[in-house]
Structure 1
């Protein structure tokens, strides 16, 4: 196997590794690794909290590079099966998991960008920062009640997108935590050596009409309606979503916020193919001439490896990300 697993920066576990998978999803902040090891005498003790990293030769590359780093062991499970000996299943995450598992309450001043706020969150949890993009959009003052830090980050990203900014997602890199633009990958990989493609089309989750409400009303009065924005009502019927955000104050703002939420027939594709170990959730790929976004990916590392991708069109990704 042309991959390295290193524990605590000094124990090379390569000879013990039987299987490695890496999983990434737009619904999660942390990159996850599942590592299956053969337990042998003399191997180091592996326990939750230890540093761990995975390196490999990037697809199309020539030398080793970090694929998961910095990361930590989160869970260990040992098993003993009759004839095949003892095994250890290790689950590891990059260190952004702390931002998903930790809750806080914060008052965020107005005028900050999503990137500036990300730096503030990371500093509070000692998460190293990489170079951050200029996300440009100034955010409103916000009182963030008790919730996970990751959900706070998502609120900032969604507000950025709803105000006309680019779509971003947080991602840990070997240089530190950053924000990457969805679909902003320099190399758009063309998916080849396809093993299977499954297409799903559904009206589940469709929105054909959005009602945007103003500030909350009283016990005797409903909230004012700022706008009702229609999509494919004639074709699919009325499937209405109600949007209420104190940052939306005018009918023009209401219509702008509502439009990305409209989505009729939804199409997703599941693809199994030979592995391109550089593909991450949020990347843009080319499937038979279609430009699609990766919403989740599971890499089964090996030589050759395999990957399972969930793909969607930009309209669905934007709707899900902003909604």
Structure 2
């Protein structure tokens, strides 16, 4: 474990006490999460929830350590005593506060997800990364009643994608909170040292026909107006129709674009267990089996060598499952 550095309160180096450590990331969760088990010597000063913590490690093929989770906060501690004292510690990067804090916000039409992120950060005194990408798409008016800041951010980012923009997720970095474009990582790792892999294919969420409806004309019992119909692989998979009702769609062109975006083929996901590449995060693009796939979830079991479990799917499937699901 000594190739990994765990530092508490910026002064206590815990490496020699760590028995095991793992890091978990997923597109379903905003915060990078870590857990470690450690021995507690008699003179140990103690660990408390709320304390600052960071984890560093040497990337595969590298020669110097980089931050893997920083800045982090200790969230939960539990100790046990048999012949010696041990402690299990859970910690998160500091986006956890966005997932645990609620507020109300009102935004007028015309702003972007980037501009709204800056407003959240200013209101909550959150340090922003030095460079934040421009999400570009202008958003409609939003009235967010009591809900988590994370839900507000994701609502903005989902609307950005529905309006034709790129897919982004919030990420905490050592320089502050930023936005990461899905699949935009500079280093695209080729997965090797495969220990096991599984593939799952399903029609469970397949959509082969989409009908976009507008508001009903006139009478209360009148049928809704059909704005657009899009048809996909009905000959191959049968008719699996989805109805989309969106009163914000004002033109036939916009309705057609929306309908096309909801068509999906067969769902295909992979789970791969292999030698650890400790810098891989959810949202990163990796190469495996001759395909370019997106990591939807990863658990790193840090060690020498470490091991990791990856959940993978296509870019189109990420868009459907995480950004066009509502």
Q: Is the 8 A contact 1:95 1:127 kept in 2?
A: no
Change (3 A) 1:319 1:279: same
Deviation at residue 133 of structure 1 after TM alignment: 0.6
Query: Residue 318 of structure 1 corresponds to which residue in structure 2?
Result: 319
Q: 2-side partners of 1:225 and 1:75: how far apart? A: 52
> Does residue 11 in structure 1 map to residue 1 in structure 2?
no
Per the alignment, residue 244 of structure 2 pairs with 243
Q: Which residue of 2 aligns with 1:203?
A: 203
Structure 1 residue 8: Cα displacement: 1.1
Task: Give the match for residue 231 of structure 1.
Answer: 232
Shift of 1:170: 0.7
- Matched with 1:290 is 291
Which residue does 1:105 correspond to in 2? 104
Higher mean displacement: 158-167 or 205-214: 205-214
Number of residue pairs matched?
Answer: 321
8 Å Cα contact 1:96/1:127 also seen in 2: no
Cα distance in structure 2, aligned partners of 1:92 and 1:182: 24
Residue 262 of structure 2 corresponds to: 261
Task: Answer yes or no: is 1:187 the counterpart of 2:187.
Answer: yes
Residues 201-248 of structure 1: per-residue CA shift (max 9 Å, x gap): 111222222232324788645543322322222322232333233432
Q: Greater shift after overlay, 224-233 or 69-78?
A: 224-233
Q: Is the 8 A contact 1:215 1:246 kept in 2?
A: yes
Question: How many Å apart are 1:289 and its aligned residue?
Answer: 1.4
Give the deviation of 1:88 after TM superposition: 1.0
Quote the offset at 1:146 in angstroms. 2.5
Name whichever of 4-13 and 230-239 sits farther off.
230-239
SS of structure 2 residue aligned to 1:201: strand
For 2:50 and 2:105, how far apart are their aligned partners in 1? 27
TM-score by length of 1: 0.94
Spell out, residue by residue over 1:39-96, the C-alpha distance to the aligned partner (whole angstroms, 9 max, x if none).
Answer: 221112211111111111122221122111111011112233x45x332111101111
Q: Which runs of 5+ in 2 are unaligned?
A: none
Say which is worse superposed, 104-113 or 219-228, in terms of deviation: 219-228
Computed over aligned residues only, the root mean square deviation of the Cα atoms, in angstroms, reads 1.8
Assess if the C-alpha contact under 8 Å between 1:25 and 1:296 holds in 2.
Answer: yes
Counterpart in 2 of 1:271?
272
Counterpart for residue 163 of structure 1: 163
1:153-191 Cα distance to aligned partner (Å, 9 max, x none): 111111111222111111111111111111111111111
Q: Is the 8 A contact 1:212 1:258 kept in 2?
A: yes
**Distance change (3 Å), C-alpha of 1:208 and 1:142:** same
Deviations 1:253-301 (A, max 9, x none): 1221232222121110000110111111111100021100110111111
Q: Distance in 2 between matches of 1:300 and 1:231?
A: 41
* Secondary structure at the counterpart of residue 166 of structure 1: coil
Relative to 1, partners in 2 of residues 1:223 and 1:100: Cα closer, same or farther, differing over 3 Å? farther
User: Secondary structure, in 3 states, of the residue corresponding to 1:68?
Assistant: strand
For the residue of structure 2 that corresponds to 1:138, the secondary structure is coil
How far apart, in 1, do the equivalents of 2:100 and 2:241 lie?
Answer: 33
> Hey, what's the Cα distance between the residues in 1 that align with 2:183 and 2:152?
22
Distance 1:125 1:94 in 2: 16
Partner of 1:117: 116
Evaluate the alpha carbon distance shift between residue 74 and residue 221 of structure 1 in structure 2; reply closer, same or farther with a 3 A threshold: farther
